[in-house]
Amino acid sequence: MNNTPAQLDRIYVKDQLKSTAIWDIVIIGGGATGLGIALDAAARGYQTLLLEQYDFAKGTSSRSTKLVHGGVRYLAQGNLKLVSDALRERGLLLKNAPHLVKKQSFVIPCYNWFDMLKYLAGLKFYDWMAGRKSFGKSVLLSKSEVVQNIPEIRIEGLKGGILYFDGKFDDARLAISIARTAAERGAVLLNYAKVKELSKDLGKLNGVVIEDAEDHEIYTAQAKVVINATGVYVNDVLDLDIAGQPELVRPSQGVHIVLDRSFLPTEFALMIPKTSDGRVLFAVPWHGYVLVGTTDTPVEETLFEPVALEKEIDFILNNAGRYLKHSPQKSDILSIFAGLRPLAATKKTKYKTKEISRDHKLIVSDSGLITITGGKWTTYRQMAEDAVDKAIKAGSLKPAKCSTKEIRIHGYTQEQSHTHMAVYGSAEAEMETQLLKNPALAEKLDNEFPYTKLEVILAVRQEMARTVEDVLARRLRVLFLDARAAMRMAPLVAETMASELDKDKEWEELQVETFLNLAENYITNL
């Protein structure tokens, strides 16, 4: 099996880190925003370094509702600019990553005539705003059509519904594909690399001090511009700039549960327009399962591995149960995952909650540190463009135009595949050839899933996976689909990775133990 170019290889990356005298742009944070900035900056020709203290998309960027959308609820709130931007970016994502972004039909069940007309009017406006990038026209559905599309919908009192269209994707897989695209354009990306200090000269930022989390080696990287793209963790980096600053953002937790497909045996997604707290709830077909969420719970701690609260699980089950014939119970949940989003500034800051939580904001500190926060997955490319534009001015870089509207994401293909390897896009055919040539690589990780040893090996060789969690949570998504199945797979994944990484039996056992402890959080309270 051939190795790919070494852009996402740690030895190659660390050589680049040692040999590059000064970087044009250093990005802290390897989620959607940071990766998007790395791609944009590298595509413009800037020497670009991205540092992530854990794995790419470890935090919020792998824990979304898996929707590429304009945001129907933002439309209801009157945030037309955000909706317009998101609808434009939704169209660009479908154009540039059709192997990962798909059109998704949604049904809104209506139990009174007024709601049906209200939602139809709003969604017709949504369609109009999308213009030529529309994913499909919204239409009224009769009661029988709603039942035909959503067989498990509660029928009592049902008047009809609305059919509308948005997008669906695999968030962590898109993040990894953006990372590979950025690397192919010349960006240098390193996970498990923590920024310990910001270095300054006469009060102005001129670089970062980095610790490799694996071997604890210390590196310094000189930089013309440093961008803080750490999401809910922006306060930590701001503290490195000036200790004791008022918090810019506070975390709010969103929880999702995953159920068997029998609860939504259809390709249509369900949008529940009225929950008990005034939010919307989605039930979305995803990788052969049903993902239901989300919640919005302010929390005090910004944890790297947030845990769902009992009340959040109950909230999702209760609200889903109001609309489904068969109410899901805790015993039906296959996996629970929680993510954090930056929703609120403290009272001491001048920044408004609305600005931070729904639209993105760029802030330049006196030291020259650029901080970007807010936004949503769908608008990651626009956020990146704005951040690089700001970096050009802040760092007096030679101006260059953004080209990411036209850049195809790694794996791009227009061919439609219905296998689990469709997320690899153009590489799928080569992977199938490898499986035929070497049957040992076709060994399944678990009898209930199609994933093979080949995919673990490719995750290590091509996608910088370093731990069992990296593979089962973000490269293959099994932890997010069925936590118990992921636990069963852990030993074989560890053994396969150990062979690739030249690790011993002790490493294997520690990896399995660490992963099993982590996975318990995904089945907690059940």
Cα gap 196→219, rounded to integer Å: 10
Q: What is the pLDDT along the chain (526 residues), one digit of tens a residue?
A: 444 445 789 999 999 999 999 999 999 999 999 999 999 999 999 999 999 999 999 999 999 999 999 888 777 777 788 889 999 999 999 999 999 999 999 999 999 999 999 999 999 999 999 999 899 999 999 999 999 999 999 999 999 999 999 999 999 999 999 999 999 999 999 999 999 999 999 999 999 999 999 999 999 999 999 999 999 999 999 999 998 888 888 888 999 999 999 999 999 999 998 887 778 899 999 999 999 999 988 888 888 899 999 999 999 999 999 999 999 999 999 999 999 987 645 444 443 333 344 578 899 999 999 999 988 899 999 999 999 999 999 999 999 999 999 999 999 999 989 899 999 999 999 999 999 999 999 999 999 999 999 999 999 999 999 999 999 999 999 999 999 999 999 999 999 999 999 999 999 999 999 999 999 999 975 5
Q: What is the pLDDT of residue 204?
A: 95
* Domains of the chain by residue range: 6-60+173-247+350-394, 96-168+251-343, 420-522
Q: What is the pLDDT of residue 344?
A: 46
Token digits of residue 453: 């040893």
> In sequence order, what DSSP letters do the residues of 303-349 get, joined into one string?
-SS----HHHHHHHHHHHHTTBSS---GGG-SEEEEEEEEEE--TTS
Fold of 6-60+173-247+350-394: FAD/NAD(P)-binding domain (3.50.50)
Is the CB of residue 489 less than 8 Å from the CB of residue 446? Answer: yes
Residue with tokens 């000189």: 222
Token digits of residue 373: 């926060």
Token digits of residue 51: 């540092």
Fold of 96-168+251-343: D-Amino Acid Oxidase; Chain A, domain 2 (3.30.9)
Q: How many residues can be counted in the chain?
A: 526
Give CA 229 to chain center in angstroms: 14
Q: What is the pLDDT of residue 399?
A: 97
Cα gap 87→92, rounded to integer Å: 9
State the burial class of residue 105 (Cβ atoms within 10 Å of its Cβ: 0-12, 13-18, 19+): middle
Cα gap 359→466, rounded to integer Å: 33
Token digits of residue 89: 């970016």
Buried-state track 208-230, b at ≥16 Cβ within 10 A, e below 16? bebbbeeeeeebebebbbbbbbb
DSSP 522: G
Determine the Cα angle at 301 with ends 198 and 522, to 5°: 115
Q: What is the pLDDT of residue 345?
A: 59
Cα gap 178→411, rounded to integer Å: 10
Prediction pTM value: 0.95
Cα gap 255→292, rounded to integer Å: 9
- Radius of gyration of the chain from Cα atoms? 23
Provide the β-strand partners of residue 199.
207
Q: What is the pLDDT of residue 272?
A: 94
* Longest Cα–Cα distance in the chain: 71
Q: What is the pLDDT of residue 355?
A: 37
Cα gap 210→94, rounded to integer Å: 36
State the burial class of residue 78 (Cβ atoms within 10 Å of its Cβ: 0-12, 13-18, 19+): exposed
Provide φ and ψ at 505, rounded to 5°. Answer: -65, -35
Token digits of residue 478: 């099994």
Residue 142's nearest CA partner among 159, 156, 166 is 159
Q: What is the pLDDT of residue 382?
A: 96
Half-sphere exposure of 465 (CA within 13 A, CB side): 30
Residue 462's nearest CA partner among 211, 214, 184 is 184
Q: What is the pLDDT of residue 71?
A: 82
Determine the Cα angle at 205 with ends 199 and 207, to 5°: 50
Handedness of CA 180, 182, 186, 190 (dihedral sign): negative
At 156, is the secondary structure helix, strand, or coil? coil
State the burial class of residue 429 (Cβ atoms within 10 Å of its Cβ: 0-12, 13-18, 19+): middle
Provide φ and ψ at 361, rounded to 5°. Answer: -140, 140
Cα gap 123→121, rounded to integer Å: 6
State the burial class of residue 485 (Cβ atoms within 10 Å of its Cβ: 0-12, 13-18, 19+): buried
**Could you report the per-residue pLDDT of 272-331, keeping only the tens digit for each?**
988 877 788 999 999 999 999 999 888 888 888 999 999 999 999 999 999 999 999 999
